[in-house]
A and B are shown apart, each in its own frame.
Chain A
Amino acid sequence: MESKPNALRILDIVTAVLIVAATAVVFFYAPMEAIMGNVQRVFYFHVANAWVGMLGFTAAGVMGILYLRTGNPKWDVIEVAAVEISLVFFFTAIVTGSIWARPIWNTWWTWDPRLTTAAILELVYAAYLMLRSGIDSPERRARFGAVYVILGFLSVPLTFLTIRLLRTIHPVVVGSGAADAQGGFSMSPKMLQTFLFSLLAFSVFFVDVLWHRVRLGQLEQKVEQLRLKLAR
């Protein structure tokens, strides 16, 4: 517990190698997209970040259910770790998306279903962190956090469906096949390989960071315990 486990050390190195390799593959192996040019390369990291973010939020929802069922604090530690990390990954996905959208859609932001849902999703989990910071009792913090993370997990997909409904039957957009049609492309085999590789690299990256954050959470608990021991 005190010293870093060897498996984590190895994972750190693997992660670093994979991320560097993924960057190299994106820039040197993947072919240049014919119409969009170099800016299309953002796509590989953009989707990888969004994928990892979704993965984390889903994991957090599952951890919330497990915590309520068992009351074991370890699920809570993983839950909050997953939310914190996913907030950052998802934010990166939004920023990289904007970088791509500026030249392609000619705007940093549109109220397209995915973008809007992404923004609301960030707000849901920011509210989650605010809820936790407003509670002093660790046990209640964990309980309320689990309840909220489950509610968020259910409401975000409904939000996405609603906004998609809003766009698809909105009179202005009718017939245009929605906004994501603009800037679409089909992947060549090399592009697909690059895409899958960066998904893999970021998934490993996610696991690595999550592991670090969970360890941090466990150490926090330990510090708390020691402090209580001293106070007596």
Chain B
Amino acid sequence: MSDLPASQGASPAEPLAHPGLLRTTLAILWKDLSAELRSRELLSAMLVFALLVILIFNFALDLKPSIRKEVTAGVLWATFAFAGTLGLNRSMASEKDRGCLDGLLLAPVDRSAIYFGKALGNLAFMFVIEAIVLPVYSVLYNLNLFNAGLVGIIILGSVGYVAVGTLLAAMSVQTRTRDMLLPILLFPLVIPVLISAVKASAAFLDGLPWGDIAPWFNMLLVYDVIFVAIAFMVFDYVVEE
């Protein structure tokens, strides 16, 4: 009954080895990254949008050298948050377009592999945008943003943002109001991340002592842990009928 070529590795009783959580997570990540490398739709949209947001802030706040230092952290995080929703929406919509989300759910993999795969992909896209925005911002405003602490905060903040964002995008893509809904659902829930990240980034840029930064750092850490765990726990309910 089989049209499978004689296999060496797998046992005859169980022709398919159970694919592990890590391997399937990486398979989904690989799939998202290679599709994006080819089309570059999502990244270019995020990037252009991010630059536009900075441009708008430039005129809205009149970024004179005297105030630049104080508002830089806020402008950066507002930019990441706005550009982030674009990426989160697009990445989930691509699963819905040709029914691919069903294709993922049909596979004998743990649902958390789907969540972690999508979340890691989104995180990678966020990092790419942040890695481009930071030097561009440094050049445009003649500020030195190359600061290990700042990079650490950006990583922590992005993790929390993407953890909640991926879960909510999986929900909003299944509603009638689709792309409109994601920022409305997401922003009120990630306010702790945004405030802490802005404050910690500003503190690093001002060279404040660790004692001033630690509370924000801890808050980001707590948020990341809580929301990665809870998203992992409830993701099943978001994708299964």
A interface residues, Cβ below 8 angstroms from B: 68, 120, 123-124, 127, 130-131, 134-136, 139-140, 143-144, 146-148, 150-152, 154-155, 158-159, 161-163, 165-166, 169
Contacts and interface: CB of A to CB of B under 8 A. Distances in A.
A155 B190 CA distance: 8
Contact of B164 (A134, A144, A151): A151
Contacts of B191: 120, 155, 159, 162
13 contacts: A124-B188, A124-B189, A131-B185, A134-B172, A134-B175, A134-B176, A134-B181, A135-B176, A151-B168, A151-B227, A158-B222, A158-B226, A162-B195
Contacts, number: 88
B241 interface: yes
- Interface of B, helix, strand, loop or mixed by DSSP: helix
The 5 closest A-B CB pairs, nearest first, are: A134-B175, A134-B177, A158-B192, A162-B192, A124-B188
Contact of A140 (B177, B181, B222, B241): B241
B111 interface: no
Given A152-B189, A154-B227, A162-B191, A136 B238 contact: no
B199 A140 contact: no
Contacts of A165: 215-216, 219
Contacts of B241: 139-140
Contact of B237 (A68, A130, A134, A166): A68
Contacts of B185: 127, 130-131, 148
B168 to A, nearest CB: 8
Most chain A beta-carbon contacts within 10 A, residue among B192, B195, B238: B192
Q: Of residues A143, A147, A148, which shows the largest number of chain B Cβ atoms within 10 Å of its Cβ?
A: A147
A140 B171 CA distance: 10
Interface string B160-183: 000010011001101111000100
Contacts of A120: 188, 191
Given A143-B237, A148-B171, A130 B195 contact: no
B139 interface: no
A166 B195 contact: yes
A179 to B, nearest CB: 17
A151 B212 contact: no
A106 B108 CA distance: 63
A165 B177 CA distance: 36
B35 interface: no
B227 A144 contact: no
A178 to B, nearest CB: 15
B107 interface: no
Nearest to A151: B189
B196 interface: yes
A154 B176 contact: no
B184 interface: yes
B231 to A, nearest CB: 8
A152 B199 CA distance: 23
Interface in B193-223: 195-196, 199, 212, 215-216, 219, 222-223
A144 B189 contact: no
Given A136-B176, A150-B230, A169-B212, A155 B192 contact: yes
Given A127-B188, A151-B168, 14 more contacts: A68-B234, A124-B189, A127-B184, A131-B172, A131-B181, A135-B175, A139-B241, A140-B174, A144-B171, A147-B171, A151-B167, A155-B227, A161-B192, A169-B215
Nearest to A157: B192
A151 B230 contact: yes
A131 B168 CA distance: 10
Nearest to B226: A154
A163 B230 CA distance: 22
A154 B190 CA distance: 11
A139 B241 CA distance: 8
Contacts of B177: 130, 134
Contacts of B176: 134-136
Contacts of B190: 155
Nearest to B164: A151
Contacts of B171: 131, 144, 147-148
B188 A158 contact: no
A150 B181 contact: no
Contacts of A166: 195, 199
